[in-house]
Structure formats: C-alpha cells, structure tokens
Structure 1
Amino acid sequence: MKPIRILVAEDEPIIREGLRILLSADPDLEVIATASNGQEAVQHAVSLTPDIVLMDIHMPVLDGISAVREIKQHAPSLKIIMLTGFQDEQNVVEALITGASGYLVKDLETTQLIAAIKQCHENQLILPGSITSALASRLALVPAADAFERDWSNGLFSPREREVASWLSTGADNQQISHALFLSMGTVKNYVSGIYKKLGRETREEAVTVIRQMMKQA
C-alpha cells in the first residue's frame, strides 16, 4: 500500500520540523513538503496534491482558515486537518464550514496524531471528543443566520434540499453535512444526488459552482 502523502503547514520551525520527523518515522506516512505560512501551504497543496494537509490555524501571510478556503476551491476533495495550540469552538465551526476534515489540539500524543491522520484518510471526521457535542449544536445553528433564511433556490429545492445545497456551497463534504444536519450518510447522499439531478450537473464541483451563483443572484 502506498504511504499517505502529507503536507505540514506550521509557522514555528521547531514544531514544523518535529512534525516532519515524527510523521516520517511511520512507514505508512510520507511528508512530501512543509510550509511556513498559509500562502506557501496553498501553493504546495495545489502543485503537489498531497493526500492530507496538516494546517496550523494561526499562520502568517494567509491564516489557516483562509488557506483552507483557497485550497478547497482548487482541490475540493483534498483532506485538511486543522492544528491549534488550544481548543476554540468558534475556530472549529469556521474551519469545518470552510471545508476542513478535522480539528486537533497540538498537545495530543504522537500515536493519537498518526491514528487521526489514518482515520481522516479513511474519510472519518476528526474532532476532539470533549467538544463534539457542543460543536454539533453550534453547527446546527449556523445556517439559520445566513442563506437558509431565504428561498434563494426559487422553489427548485425542498427546504431540506436547500439546507444541504447551502452546506455544499461552503465546501462541506457529505460527512460534515451529516453531522451538521443530524442526517445519516445515506440520506445525505440521496439529497446530494437529487440536487445534482435538479441542477442538471454530474459532479460536485459543477453543482457547487451553480449553487454559489444562485445564492449570489438572490
């Protein structure tokens, strides 16, 4: 099996090098590049197409969350795990809405970090257990203050389809939508397929582009 290709984006040189050494010691992982700021992270992610990016939230030049947003525009399926020195519920919510696949605090053990990377590679959402419940509650409330309050779809979608479509527009994957709306993965997949059909599109990227245009025109 090919090793999981990782990009480490961290502005502190000691931490960045430490992560590179620790992760490279595992035969299932390969650190293909490192970045010292958010803009470098975007450039490396787009040009090198790693399997997973470890992204510090607090980065110079371009902050981690903005970097995630840019990366997801170029590579929607790329998995990104946010790293931070402390638990910040607001940052968790923003990171996941932007398209991150997980969020970890830097004080975890090496074995936990490696396990989380492998779980993320298997399409699992990575969150510290202590904030999962609080996060689910926050995510469920986020849409109410924005696009979900108006029927920007002009009746094309049902209310639930509109919720799913709005989450799609943020770059969220099916698992993130499932957590946010308290729906099973199968149900989310059915809604997403129905949205593709109604929009006359075959890929997620095409559907997201159309949805964003519809929301801007509303």
Structure 2
Amino acid sequence: MVLPPGACWFLLGLSQSGQIWQHPRFKGTPLELRRVNDIAFSGDGEPTTYERLGEAIVEVGKLRESQGLTELKLIVITNGSRLGEPEVIRALEGLQAGPYEIWAKLDAGTQAWFEKVDGSGLPLRQIVRNIIAAGQKLDLTIQSLFPTLGGQGPSDEEIGAYIGRLHEMLKAGAKLKLIQVYTTARRPADDSVGVLPDERLDEIVARVRREVPVAVEGFYGRNWE
C-alpha cells in the first residue's frame, strides 16, 4: 500500500458517516459545505517527483470505487517541472480510470517575470514544453498566480506574453479545459509579495477570456493585515 495505512479509508469513512463534522475543527462548517469535493495529490512537495505516483493513483482509484464514490475527482496539482517526462505522463494516465483534473502552474509569459515569481531556476520554455507534452494526452487546467512584487503587478506586456504561451500550447495540441487566474490569498514568506487589486485581476481575466478560446475563472486575493 502506497498511502499511510488506512489513512484515506479512515477519513472517507468519517466524512460519509458524518462523524468528521463533530470534530471541534469542523463542527462550525455550514451544512451546505459539508461534503467531500475531491482527493488531491498536493502539499508542500511536488507530487510528480514521487517515483510511485502511478501506484498511488491506482490505489486511491480503487479506494474511491470501493467506497462507491465513483463521481469523486482525483486531482493532481503540479508546478510542471516534471510534467513532460514519459514516466510521469504514464503515471498520470492512471487518472483516466475515473473523474480527474490536473492543475498545472503557468505564472508568467516571459523568463524575466518567471524568475521573479518562481525562483526555481528552471527555464520557462521547459515548463511550457512539459505542459504541451502532458496536454497532448491528458486534459489540463492551467493555474496562474499573479501577485504584486515590490508593489508592482505584471505589466500589460507580460500578460500579452502569457497569452502567447497559452496560444502556443493550444496550437501544439494541448487539451486545456480551464484557466484559473488568481492572486495571493495568504501571507507569503517574502514580504515583497503582495495582493493584486481586484480591478487589475478583473482586467487580466477579461483579456484572457477575449483572446484565448478556453474557459477562464478568476479568484480574488485576501489581505492578511
């Protein structure tokens, strides 16, 4: 068993029986929000770096079936750094046994902005190639974070370059099903990172909707002061 013994079984059992809502942490949850939305492979680490990811996906899929939760989505959230590797794509193809989503990060259109917001040292071009490779075989959701850095958000030129990357992916056959545009929602480790104003986020969302033939959703940030 790839997962911690009984962990998912236990949590799903608690949610289905309703016992989880008696826990002090969840007792105040509104009735309309008392549901299990999905099972996500995410966290502080990058899930595609785990060599047994494919096995984990299969095991969780079996758990979903055994609990009668056939409509429950499995979601993999990735920074795209290994998304184009054949073994990773093979692992992710196991998601196709049921409802699934893959959320791939694309936070820039130019290398200069990418280096500011990402800090991984990877070429943006590599991320784009990886997304294309995976998107030719699997449906993808693009997640794009646009914060302010030192009080300045991405320029119109940067957003234009970002849209160009999306067009490049689509032209290459990547199956982009949704684009999520959002900004900072919790306190970052770097104090120079801030929240993009709602008005600017609306402008970016509207422009992407006009220029890219893919559904777009926008999510506002939250000040933590």
Smaller-chain TM-score bracket: 0.3 to 0.5
**Larger Rg belongs to:** 2
Name the one with the larger strand percent: 2
TM-score (structure 1 length as normaliser): 0.34
TM-score (structure 2 length as normaliser): 0.34
Name the one with the larger helix percent: 1
